[in-house]
Structure 1
Amino acid sequence: MRTVLHQLGRFKRDTFLCIGLCTLEVIMEILLPFITSLIIDKGLEQANLPVVYRYGILMVAMALLSLAFGAAAGKFAASASSGLAANLREAIYNNIQTFSFSNIDKFSVPGLVTRMTTDITNVQNAFMMVIRIAVRSPLMLIFSYIMCLIISPKLSLTFLIAVVFLIVVLGAIMVVTMKIFNEVFRRYDDLNASVQENISAIRVVKAFVREDHENDKFAKASSNLYRLFVKAEGLLAFNNPAMMTAVYFCIIMVSWLGAQIIVAGDMSTGELTSLFSYVMSLLMSLMMLSMVVVMISMSMASIRRISEVLNERPDLQEPAEPVYEVSDGAIDFDHVTFSYKHGSGKNALTDIDLHIKSGETIGVIGGTGAGKSSLVNLICRLYDVDTGTVKVGGRDVREYDMEVLRNQVAVVLQKNTLFTGTILENLRWGNSDATDDECVAACQAACADEFIDRFPDGYHTRIERGGANVSGGQKQRLCIARALLKKPKVLILDDSTSAVDTATDAKIRAAFAQKIPGTTKIIIAQRISSVESADRILVLDNGRVDAFDTHENLLKTNAIYQEIYESQVKGGGDFDQSA
């Protein structure tokens, strides 16, 4: 709770103004029944019209003041709750940006989306109720009971029976429903996951005619949510009968005992009338408090989920005295061992000892799960090693400012992402200050210019969300061009030419040799043709270095490389090469 409320920021002023105005509103409302009793006892029963007029004008003035205070309180409550929601979304989003990959692995994407939408909306609604109703209702309850005690202490004691009854019933309901609502928001994640997965992979769903399966999966998640909500709301429905039981009990008690007291002369008619008003205010305050408790019980689950993200601290920390310059592209792995879950014993890489000179072109090859992507993730410090050190430019990567390191180590992934905007805007993710000529040169090196020139709008062609209007190969080449604009000292291609033909792949590698000779290039590939011209080739097997040598030597000495070569070249070649 403290973590969430800390995000109020500048909206604390609106919160306190709302609370103050609610207090004034309650005071005005509490005094109205008292004025009514004076009008009845001193005005109407004694036929004194001047008293009626005087107290009537006072009632109108107090009612108008109560209305004004209530309207102003509502305005400030809306401002404070909306501001809290906006600050929470911004704080969560900003914190996510600092996460390392290992932090992101702890939270599912649908879970993060639910936290930033449904959970924050619940907190927003609960906060508005808390600073309005949760302030107004206790004050109304306390002041109403004080006025009841002033009017008739004897009758006021009977009201405690109704209050205790309501507290016991509503408390029991709240305890059970809070547990249900905790489960509800976990089910929201399942629902969002089903929707997101289906929409993002809609082409695959349709290609395999799995619409019915996906519909059934979504219906199951939706029905689970439905059943939990019905169960929770069914329990909350007992609020109303419990409330009406207490109300009718109080009305009967006031009518029966009040009539006897009036006959005995210990209470006036006006006092009995005001007592009815105060009893109803007291019970309605309890009812409103029960609604607040319901909203809070729903929001507590959301608050815990939001706090989990806000309290999550990135595993990768900036060094106390960071290095701000990468001298060259030399890369050294000194007996590195790495696992995605530290201490689990399931190593992705084991005892990696490599030394790569600046400007070298290194090919990396190996089977699925061999540790190729894990290896390059350590170079740009997307993860930290368990043991050993990874050095770039002769310095441990943990000594660098992370932004500086990642600007000098460009990574092009197999699964590339383009953002909504023009081609030029996407290219300038690599360098926001890049000129048009620099963008064109980068595209020429990545062999992207040949298809960009065919677009009617050229470099101003708009890319749809996720690059939906370009092919996989075109997307890869644009991402390579984007990485080249960073002018990095290390360029990593993580199977990022898998969707282009071998002729274009060869052109890209030739352009690299000509235009960025001083950049260290690491090319992860499944095709021998993509790495055979590299200075040296690293063969990985089950997270270990199996061999590290030239293409010619590996063909003579390494069984894994020989097997891959035989299957690809003698087995028929790449998909666009003749056997």
Structure 2
Amino acid sequence: MIKLARFLQPYKLSLAAVLLLVFLQALSDLYLPTLMADIVDIGVVKGDTPYILTMGAFMLVVAIGGAICAIGASYMSSRVATGFGKIIRAKLFSHVERFSLHEFDKFGSASLITRTTNDTTQVQQVYIIILRMMISAPLMAVGGIIMAVSKDAQLSLVLVGALPILAIAIWIITGNGIPLFQVMQKKLDKINLILDENLTGMRVIRSLNRINHEQQRFQDANQDLTDVSIKVNRIMAAMWPTMMLIMNISSIAIVWFGGLRVGVNDLQIGDLMAFLQYSTQIMFAMLMVSMMFIMIPRASASATRINEVLDVLPAMSDAEEVKQADKRRGYVEFRDVTFSYPGAERPAIKHISFNARPGEVTAIIGGTGAGKSTLVNLIPRFYDIDSGGILVDGVDVREMTQESLRAKIGLVPQKAVLFSGTVADNIRYGKDDASDEDVIHAADVAQASEFVSGMADGFDSQIAQGGTNVSGGQKQRLSIARALIRRPEIYIFDDSFSALDFKTDAKLRAALKGEIANSTVFIVAQRVSTVMDANQIIVLDEGKIAGIGTHRELMQSSNVYREIVSSQLSMEEIA
């Protein structure tokens, strides 16, 4: 909580205003019982009507002033806290955007969503309470005790007996309830995880008829959260009745002993009434302090989770001394590259060395798990390698800024991803300032114009979240158009033609030839027919290079490649 307070820096003046208003409100609340005591003891007892009217008017002014301060403090504290929440969410989002894929894997998307939304809201709400109570509650408690003692020191012994009992009761209740708040946040993470998996995997769930299983899974997680919430609420529900019981018993004792003192003229009636009000204010101040002790640990758990994200330094950062790339556009070189995923027992790729030049197509082929996607994902530096070097235009990618490196690359990922918005928005996502003509041209080359023109609003047709209203092949073609519109130096097609039929595949590759003629092209593919015409084919087997060359050269030199070819093509096609 304290660590996050640095984000309150833009609201220093507003904070000062809140503290001043709360202070004035507390003074008003403490002064009103004394004014009422004077009205009773002087005005009512002596029958002094002008005094009653004068002091009543003054009391009304003080009450209105206190109310104005309370309203102003509530408004300002809410404004500060919501602004603080806005800053936290923005910081989390921008920080997470700089994460490498390793950090995403570490936290998980469901947990990051919970931390950005629910945890931030918890902290934000507590700051509203803190800003309103951190001065008023202690001031009301201490001020109330001083004013009560000033009215009658002997009668204050009732409070001396009541307040420790109340404090012990609050300590017992909060001590049992606070640890459960941390458990609640983890249970909420679990629900978000299941919900995210269900929404993204709905087609698989329905196709495998696992709806009942997923409903039960959600029900179990939901019940876990409900049970913990009920347990917490049962514990915390004892707070109010306990406080009221102690307060009412104290009031009875005050009236009883106070009445005795009034009877012997040691205490005036007005002072007894004021003493009762001060005792009530002290009890409520104690309750407010206890509520702070309840809310702060819960928010502290949320703040810890937020700080866990903000404290993570991205595994990849730009070098302090950035080198400028050579004038060569798109030249890529792997020098004895070895890479392991965090926690993996063995490297995903080992001792990879090759060159890829502008105007050439480098195809990567191999069995499942051979490391094809891993290899191309290292070019835009989604991960940092263990050893060796990856050079783009003569400069190691670790010595370039990530922005300048990725500006050179047009990537079509293995899993096509579309965003909510129009078709044109999704294509233009690759280049914000692209003209309508550029969008149409990219769609034409990607063989997307035909199905786009058949949609209700053409390029203005809406794409649903996740692209659920278009087919897998249509997603791939729109993803390819999005990469083409960038006109990058390096194209990476990571198994980007797998959902296309052979006719569309052939038309697309024919159209691509002229578009990407001057760029360095990487194609990861399962189909031999897709890579046969490549300038060089890299055959991967268990993370190692099993052969490099053209189709004809590999048919002569690589057993692994021949096995792949023979498994896909007939003898006539091979010949």
Give the match for residue 13 of structure 1. 13
| Number of aligned residue pairs | 574
Moved more, 546-555 or 58-67: 546-555
* TM superposition shift of 1:253: 2.8
* TM superposition shift of 1:277: 0.7
Q: What is the CA deviation profile of residues 248-290 of structure 1, one whole-angstrom value per residue up to 9, with x for unaligned ones?
A: 3322332333233333432222111111110011011111222
8 A Cα contact 1:414 1:497, kept in partner = no
* TM superposition shift of 1:456: 5.0
CA RMSD, Structure 1 to Structure 2 (Å)? 2.1
8 A Cα contact 1:325 1:404, kept in partner = no
8 A Cα contact 1:11 1:79, kept in partner = no
8 A Cα contact 1:12 1:80, kept in partner = no
Moved more, 544-553 or 390-399: 544-553
**Aligned-partner Cα distance in 2 for 1:205–1:558:** 41
- For 2:333, give the aligned amino acid: D
**Aligned-partner Cα distance in 1 for 2:547–2:534:** 14
**SS in structure 2 at match of 1:365:** strand
* TM superposition shift of 1:202: 1.6
8 A Cα contact 1:407 1:488, kept in partner = yes
TM alignment of 1:387-398, pairs within 5 A: 387-398=387-398
Give the match for residue 174 of structure 1. 174
**SS in structure 2 at match of 1:153:** coil
Q: Where do 5+ consecutive residues of structure 2 fail to align? A: none
- For 1:330, give the aligned amino acid: Y
Give the match for residue 508 of structure 1. 508
Give the match for residue 435 of structure 2. 435
Give the match for residue 337 of structure 1. 338
Judging changes above 3 Å, is the alpha-carbon distance between structure 1 residues 331 and 181 closer, same or farther for their aligned structure 2 residues? same
**Aligned-partner Cα distance in 2 for 1:47–1:434:** 86
Q: TM-score, normalised by structure 2?
A: 0.95
Give the match for residue 207 of structure 1. 207
Give the match for residue 260 of structure 1. 260
- For 1:139, give the aligned amino acid: L
**Aligned-partner Cα distance in 2 for 1:324–1:45:** 91
8 A Cα contact 1:3 1:310, kept in partner = no
* TM superposition shift of 1:225: 0.1
- For 1:19, give the aligned amino acid: L
- For 1:562, give the aligned amino acid: R
Q: What is the CA deviation profile of residues 332-379 of structure 1, one whole-angstrom value per residue up to 9, with x for unaligned ones?
A: 11121212217x543222222222233321111122221111111111
**Aligned-partner Cα distance in 2 for 1:544–1:290:** 63
Judging changes above 3 Å, is the alpha-carbon distance between structure 1 residues 571 and 295 closer, same or farther for their aligned structure 2 residues? farther
Moved more, 376-385 or 469-478: 469-478
Q: What is the CA deviation profile of residues 203-227 of structure 1, one whole-angstrom value per residue up to 9, with x for unaligned ones?
A: 2222222111111001000000011
* TM superposition shift of 1:188: 0.6
Give the match for residue 22 of structure 2. 22
* TM superposition shift of 1:129: 0.9
Give the match for residue 148 of structure 2. 148
* TM superposition shift of 1:18: 1.7
8 A Cα contact 2:324 2:395, kept in partner = no
Judging changes above 3 Å, is the alpha-carbon distance between structure 1 residues 447 and 278 closer, same or farther for their aligned structure 2 residues? same
* TM superposition shift of 1:9: 4.1
Give the match for residue 412 of structure 1. 412
TM alignment of 1:521-536, pairs within 5 A: 521-536=521-536
Give the match for residue 309 of structure 1. 309
TM alignment of 1:39-438, pairs within 5 A: 39-323=39-323, 325=325, 327-341=328-342, 345-438=345-438
Structure 1 segments, 4+ long, off by >6 Å, are: 571-574
Q: TM-score, normalised by structure 1?
A: 0.94
Moved more, 482-491 or 163-172: 163-172
* TM superposition shift of 1:502: 2.2
**Aligned-partner Cα distance in 2 for 1:128–1:324:** 49
8 A Cα contact 1:99 1:315, kept in partner = yes
8 A Cα contact 1:174 1:297, kept in partner = no
Q: What is the CA deviation profile of residues 357-403 of structure 1, one whole-angstrom value per residue up to 9, with x for unaligned ones?
A: 33321111122221111111111111111111111111100111211
- For 2:339, give the aligned amino acid: F
**Aligned-partner Cα distance in 1 for 2:49–2:441:** 94
**SS in structure 2 at match of 1:65:** helix
Q: Where do 5+ consecutive residues of structure 1 fail to align? A: none
Give the match for residue 538 of structure 2. 538
- For 2:510, give the aligned amino acid: A
Judging changes above 3 Å, is the alpha-carbon distance between structure 1 residues 541 and 292 closer, same or farther for their aligned structure 2 residues? same
Give the match for residue 556 of structure 2. 556
**SS in structure 2 at match of 1:45:** helix
**Aligned-partner Cα distance in 2 for 1:260–1:487:** 94
**Aligned-partner Cα distance in 2 for 1:31–1:346:** 74
Q: What is the CA deviation profile of residues 490-537 of structure 1, one whole-angstrom value per residue up to 9, with x for unaligned ones?
A: 111000111001232233223333232221111001111111111111
**Aligned-partner Cα distance in 2 for 1:325–1:439:** 29
- For 1:332, give the aligned amino acid: E
8 A Cα contact 1:358 1:519, kept in partner = yes
**Aligned-partner Cα distance in 2 for 1:311–1:103:** 12
Q: What is the CA deviation profile of residues 62-103 of structure 1, one whole-angstrom value per residue up to 9, with x for unaligned ones?
A: 111111111111111221121112221111111122222122
* TM superposition shift of 1:324: 5.1
Judging changes above 3 Å, is the alpha-carbon distance between structure 1 residues 475 and 53 closer, same or farther for their aligned structure 2 residues? same
Moved more, 22-31 or 298-307: 298-307
**Aligned-partner Cα distance in 2 for 1:386–1:160:** 68
**SS in structure 2 at match of 1:171:** helix
**Aligned-partner Cα distance in 1 for 2:157–2:352:** 80
* TM superposition shift of 1:200: 1.7
* TM superposition shift of 1:128: 0.9
Q: What is the CA deviation profile of residues 279-309 of structure 1, one whole-angstrom value per residue up to 9, with x for unaligned ones?
A: 0110111112222222222211111112222
Judging changes above 3 Å, is the alpha-carbon distance between structure 1 residues 162 and 103 closer, same or farther for their aligned structure 2 residues? same
